[in-house]
Amino acid sequence: MKVMQQFRNLTVLSLALTCGAAAPIMAIENNVAVKPPVAKKVPKADTLHGDTRVDNYYWLREKSSPEVIDFLNAENAYTDSVMKPTEPLQEALYQEMVARIKETDLSVPTKNGEYWYYTRTEQGKQYQINCRKKGSLEAKEEVILDQNELAKGQKYLGLGAFTVSDDGNLLAYSTDITGFREYTLHVKNLQTGETLSDSVPKVISITWAADNKTLFYTTIDAAKRPYRLYRHSLGTTQNELVYEEKDELYTIGAYRTKDKKYIFCTSQSSDTTEDRYIAADQPQAAWKIVLPREKGHEYSTDSWGGQFFLTTNDQAKNFRVVSAPIADPVRKNWKEFIPHNPNVLIQGVDFFAGHAVVSEYENGLPKLRILDMKTNKSHRIEFPDPAYSLSAASQPEFNTTSCRFSYQSLVRPSSVFEYDMNTHERKLLKQTDVLGGFKPEAYESQRLFATAKDGAKVPVSVVYKKGLKLDGKNPLLLYAYGSYGISMPDSFSSSRLSLLDRGFVYAIAHIRGGKEMGEIWHDQGKLMNKKNTFTDFIACGEMLIEKKFTSKEKLVIEGGSAGGLLMGAVTNMRPDLFKVVVSHVPFVDVMNTMLDASLPLTVGEYLEWGNPNEKDAYFYMKSYCPYTNIEAKNYPIILVKTSLNDSQVMYWEPAKYVAKLRATKTDNNLLMLKINMAAGHGGSSGRYDALKETAFDYAFMLTQLGVVK
């Protein structure tokens, strides 16, 4: 009888999920209908620029209120009840994903000083174990930090900074145990295993001086802005303030050059930079400025051969590289090293004893250029796939003729190569194992272009199982981000195979707001051009439908954070175009957040979104803000996910968005909110927990489209 009743419940809910219902969807739990929670309305009016906005759900900001927590728990209870019948599918997906990964594994060892450093994972353990071996890889292993031990008794663990002193005796690292992006500095004696008393809260970047006893670190203010640089001498209570960045548009960070000669403190806004420096072997020295800040001038500084090398946008929209004497690095003393190319974005330069590795972007794809420091001759490393992800791998050794890079594509797992910069020979050091018989040749990837509203050509990367018939009947998951100049990598995912093997097409829209097509691509997708980001995404969806990759009835879209803003905006603009929307930690309450200068990120992001205290920016922002523009009309099926301890997009944004949407929309399509009550912006920190979250998302998508295999 019990089994039969469960079957009936599953059947009723499945019909509601896939076919719609005459009333708001209810879950069946122990024969009792579980209705979606309805948030009370407490109007709060705000007037600016002669315009009055009314927020009925402002009260959800009170995190300490039992009523708010009860409401969030009610949302979770509803979501859990709706998804209850999918638990067997979630478990099947989770087991598929786990079966593809090599649970006990090693990273590629990296040499730094006398030691080889690496991480390893063990079956059943959520976190990495940091290890090293002295002299050679045949030496005895030394565990320097077991993150699983640190995580005991905690619901969350995030590892921030991780840096070893020059003599290899001390480890400085930072941890966050809430997900709220508040890291605490710890120092461990690697000779004795003792954790020292030198502990500092709210630390971001950390770097060692050459004396093996002086640490420089940055701390955050109440709005999570890194704004102070301190000098700390181990074994003392001395924490000397070196520099405070008072301009709220700027954040600071500390780093040390690869040749280990200098320590830098960078002050930067999204369009202006100012670097300070000292010699690493003179930690008590007075700090000097490389170039004073000038509005719009972005630069980064490195040292090589007794000179500074600046990657600068001075007279170079996509950046150029110049050398300058350390004693007087002003413009009149610059010498051109890498000239500006309007078609190539220089993202960064990694200097070695005899070479420089230049990270570039051209025509939407990442490139690596190797430059000989003696001859100034250069060449690029070529790659086979039409769409791929590429980055210079971390390599602290300066005196070497070999560099490393990480390469992957939509059909090829992540691979680490060693490249001889003199002979041009490459050697595969490790390719991530994908178990279960995975074969890259069983899948096909393409690179397409959609035509935007204004005629711009927007790259779209696509992958699917080879042999799939492109007849417009395939389910398709379209992902995008499109903000802050962040370019979306065409990376591999073994978890994604669970969708591809069930007939899904997966696509990434490289929309404006990123930098795939250079700095202009970012400029055309921010501030008063922000709507290009949304119309680009819509154009990509329409192109994929036109080319018969999918249809409106089979199109799923997904994005997170600023990509969640994208989800909200395009869903308001074209709700007819998408069947299912999955929105992670979405930045959907743009107006209220950007008018609250006390929140993390707000002031510093005026240069990305605009300052709504200015009239034109206010009304432009209001015209696309997802929360503001919810209307009484039909919307797609929507899953919104957030975390209670998110410090980047506060939990109340998605909570308010769902509450207003549920009260306003005219359809009966499923709308769910899932809140992780013990995590931050990135969701669960453990690798197995993260896979379970992905399995949940996939089960939701598959169920909504009726693709349950």
pLDDT of 643 above 80: yes
Q: Distance between CA 508 and CA 488 in Å, rounded?
A: 8
pLDDT digits (tens, 9 = 90+) for 165-176: 999 999 999 999
Structure confidence at residue 33 (pLDDT) = 53
pLDDT digits (tens, 9 = 90+) for 540-552: 999 999 999 999 9
Count how many Cα atoms sit within 13 Å of the Cα of residue 666 in the half-sphere of its side chain. 5
Within 432-493, strands assigned E span 443-451, 457-465, 476-479
Strands 344-351, 335-338: pairing is unpaired
pLDDT of residue 512: 98
* Kind of pairing between the strands at 476-479 and 505-509: parallel
pLDDT at 7: 27
Span 415-464, pLDDT tens digits: 999 999 999 999 999 999 999 999 999 999 999 999 999 999 999 999 99
Residues marked active site are found at 561, 646, 681
Are the C-beta atoms of residues 655 and 672 closer than 8 Å to each other?
Answer: no
Using pLDDT thresholds of 50, 70 and 90, give the confidence band for residue 704: very high
pLDDT of residue 409: 97
The confidence band for 651, taking pLDDT boundaries of 50, 70 and 90, is very high
Count of beta carbons in the 10 Å neighbourhood of residue 631: 12
Angle at 454 between CA 448 and CA 455, to 5 degrees: 40
- Cα–Cα distance between 26 and 582 in angstroms, integer? 20
Band of pLDDT at residue 679, cut at 50, 70 and 90: confident
* pLDDT interval class at 19 (50, 70, 90): very low
Comparing C-alpha atoms, which of 249, 242, 241 is closest to residue 225?
249
Q: What are the pLDDT digits (tens) for 371-400?
A: 999 999 999 998 989 999 999 998 899 999
Of the candidates 609, 608, 528, 621, which has an alpha carbon nearest to the alpha carbon of residue 49?
621
pLDDT at 237: 81
Please give the share of the chain, as a percent, with pLDDT higher than 70.
95
Work out whether the CA dihedral 97, 99, 105, 107 comes out positive or negative.
negative
What does the pLDDT read at residue 684? 86
Band the pLDDT of 152: cuts 50, 70, 90: very high
Q: pLDDT grade, residue 709 (50/70/90)?
A: low
Question: What pTM was computed for the model?
Answer: 0.92
Q: Are strands 637-643 and 580-584 parallel, antiparallel or unpaired?
A: parallel
The per-residue pLDDT for 26 is 60
Q: Once rounded to an integer, what is the mean pLDDT over residues 520-530?
A: 98
Give a three-class secondary structure readout of 311-373: EECCCCCCCEEEEEECCCCCHHHCEEEECCECCEEEEEEEECCCEEEEEEEECCEEEEEEEEC
Instruction: Report CA torsion sign: 191, 193, 198, 203.
Output: positive
Say whether pLDDT at 17 is over 60. no
**Cα 4–chain centre separation:** 45
Comparing C-alpha atoms, which of 281, 206, 271 is closest to residue 239?
A: 206
pLDDT higher than 60, residue 308:
yes
Interval 478-520: pLDDT, tens: 999 999 999 999 999 999 999 999 999 999 999 999 999 999 9
User: Can you give the pLDDT at residue 201?
Assistant: 95
pLDDT digits (tens, 9 = 90+) for 339-368: 999 999 999 999 999 999 999 999 999 999
DSSP at 456: P
Please give the pLDDT value at position 128.
97
**Residue 287 to residue 254: CA distance in whole angstroms:** 12
Q: Tens digits of per-residue pLDDT, 556-594?
A: 999 999 999 999 999 999 999 999 999 999 999 999 999
Cα three-residue angle 324-330-336, rounded to 5 degrees: 45
pLDDT at 29: 54
Mean of the per-residue pLDDT values of the chain: 93
Q: Which amino acid is at 701?
A: M
Task: Return d(Cα 485, Cα 271) in angstroms, integer.
Answer: 11
Residue 15 has pLDDT above 50, yes or no: no
Q: Of 567, 559, 561, 557, give the one whose Cα is nearest residue 626.
A: 567
Give me 649's structure tokens: 């997009």
Check residue 27 and give its pLDDT.
Answer: 57
Q: Which domains does the chain have, with CATH numbers?
A: 39-99+585-709 (3.40.50.1820), 446-550 (3.40.50.1820)
Q: Which residue, among 159, 203, 194, has the nearest Cα to 177 in the 3D structure? A: 159
pLDDT digits (tens, 9 = 90+) for 693-703: 999 999 999 99
